[in-house]
């Protein structure tokens, strides 16, 4: 596998950094790959722009920064505006379809929308938005295994929230599998 560059963008409070952390842990601790995480966020705790840059590779990573992501997740309109121009030719864009209105994209970009916030609200906790996104990302990309993602979730979230977070992951994973099936039919 060549190095896979991933960028997740959204707002503080959406769990963007934790989503990147879980994907990196899944790859490095449970799928025996190499991963790096770089995070950027505004000074405010909630509502400011933030992003996570994750690299996943079978070989050691010598440069930890995402240069041209092949996978982009946007959870806010600002994140889409800021990061979509960086997406490489033939890349994959995953987005919260209730929060992001897609602008003009090159025809080679594959897009997958998900009502992430709406699904999180239906589970009774907006805070699981990021785990829904991790499940969706896992299903769409296959960069980390389903088992590794579940193990990384168990390693990362507070023990009292493991069941809820795993359920949120499953909801996102099922949505991703459904979207893939729709694209192939």
Q: What confidence tier does 10 reach under pLDDT thresholds 50, 70, 90?
A: very high
Within 8 A by CB and 6+ apart from 4, the residues are 55, 56, 57, 70, 71, 141, 143
Query: Residue range 107-132: average pLDDT?
Result: 95
Q: Write b or e for each residue in 82-107: b if 16 or more Cβ atoms lie within 10 A of its Cβ, otherwise e.
A: ebbeebbeebbbbbbbebbeeeeeee
Residues 73-84 pLDDT 10s: 999 999 999 999
| Statement: residue 183 has pLDDT above 80 | no
- Host domain of residue 10: 4-184
| Statement: residue 48 has pLDDT above 80 | no
pLDDT of residue 56: 97
CB distance 58 to 34 below 8 Å: yes
Torsion sign over Cα 4, 143, 133, 14: negative
Query: Residue range 86-108: average pLDDT?
Result: 95
pTM (2 d.p.): 0.94
Query: How many domains in the chain?
Result: 1
CATH of the domain at 21: 3.40.920.10
Rounded distance, CA 124 to CA 37, Å? 29
User: In whole numbers, what is the pLDDT of the chain averaged over residues?
Assistant: 93
Query: Residue range 162-184: average pLDDT?
Result: 94
| Statement: residue 1 has pLDDT above 70 | no
């Amino acid at each position: 596998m060549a190095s896979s560059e991933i960028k997740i963008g959204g707002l503080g409070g959406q769990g963007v950094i934790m989503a990147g952390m879980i994907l990196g842990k899944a790859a490095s601790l449970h799928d025996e790959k190499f991963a790096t995480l770089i995070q950027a966020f505004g000074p405010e705790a909630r509502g400011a722009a933030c992003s996570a840059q994750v690299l996943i590779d079978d070989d050691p990573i010598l440069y930890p920064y995402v240069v041209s992501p092949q996978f982009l997740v946007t959870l806010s309109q600002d994140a889409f505006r800021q990061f979509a121009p960086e997406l490489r030719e033939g890349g994959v864009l995953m987005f919260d379809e209730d929060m992001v209105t897609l602008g003009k994209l090159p025809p080679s970009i594959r897009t997958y929308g998900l009502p992430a916030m709406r699904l999180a609200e239906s589970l009774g906790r907006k805070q699981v938005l990021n785990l829904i996104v991790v499940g969706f990302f896992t299903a769409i990309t296959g960069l980390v295994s389903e088992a590794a993602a579940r193990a990384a979730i168990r390693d990362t979230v507070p023990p009292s929230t493991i069941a809820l977070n795993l359920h949120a992951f499953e909801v996102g994973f099922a949505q991703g599998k459904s979207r893939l099936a729709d694209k192939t039919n």
